[in-house]
Amino acid sequence: MYELYSNGNELGSGMFVKGDSTMRSERSYKWITSVNYRTQKLNVRIDGYLQWIDNYIYDEPARKNITVISGSYPVFQYKQTPAFFRGADLDLRFVPLRSLEYRLITSIIWANEQSSGNYLPYIPPMRIDHQLTWTPAMRRSFAPHLTLKHRFTAKQTRFDPKTDLIDHTPPAYHLLGFEAGVEWSVGRKHKIRFLLAGDNMLNKEYKEYTNRSRYYAHDIGRDVRCSVQWSF
């Protein structure tokens, strides 16, 4: 309903969005092929897919601004077109030691208009997430763990400048994070969990291509969280 009848500014995104009440429902056809390899220490899964979408709905800048009482906003217009998506996902898990686990998750996607071949806007770039988790063998009532994380997000090069407010995409970036926690069993029914986690620990200035706020500000900086959970 939103994409059909929108006609106003989004205060959270700083955009004026216009819908199109003549748009029809999307219809999708998808082919997925999966390969899974598993041993005692290694588990690898690869998924490849092709997807054709009739009447794919998206929005893009209309290359004009509109002024209302709260200010001037760029206009985004909802559209639809036949689209062709294809991509691949990789999920790898490696356990060299009983207390050590490495995991890698990556995905890449291409998306074009079927008629013109032009790239569709706001499609995520390639991303690689991997982490190393250490879970030392302790007594059953006390279970600590430590995880080190790294994320790489590539620059989106499959991009049509005509479908964006600016003629370039944000650069690639790396983010480092961690998670340290412990679960402590108290009696037969009670558990206390302590967790300390952090993202973007180097306080890297970066912008995520799919985040519309990138036109006005950088993404989230260093974020450290602490939590305590008691189950009873």
pLDDT digits (tens, 9 = 90+) for 151-199: 999 999 998 888 888 889 999 999 999 999 998 888 778 889 999 999 9
Instruction: Please state, in angstroms and rounded to a whole number, the distance separating the CA atoms of residues 206 and 159.
Output: 18
Instruction: Please state, in angstroms and rounded to a whole number, the distance separating the CA atoms of residues 83 and 30.
Output: 12
Mean pLDDT of the chain: 91
Whether 229 and 182 have beta carbons less than 8 Å apart is answered as no
- Judge whether residue 32 has pLDDT over 90: yes
Q: Please report which confidence band the pLDDT of residue 42 belongs to, taking 50, 70 and 90 as the band edges.
A: very high
130 or 76: which leads in pLDDT: 130
Give pLDDT tens digits for 4-30: 777 777 777 788 888 888 888 999 999
Output the pLDDT for position 209.
93
Output the pLDDT for position 93.
98
Output the pLDDT for position 12.
74
Output the pLDDT for position 228.
93
DSSP-derived 3-state class of residue 205? coil
Q: Please, what's the b/e burial string for 120-146 (b: 16 or more CB within 10 A of its CB; e: otherwise)?
A: bbbbbbbebbebebeeeeeeeeebebe
Give the CATH number of domain 2-231.
2.40.170.20
Instruction: Please state, in angstroms and rounded to a whole number, the distance separating the CA atoms of residues 230 and 190.
Output: 7
DSSP-derived 3-state class of residue 43? strand
Long-range contacts of the stretch 64-68 (C-beta < 8 A, 24+): 65/16, 66/9, 66/16, 68/9, 68/16
DSSP-derived 3-state class of residue 5? helix
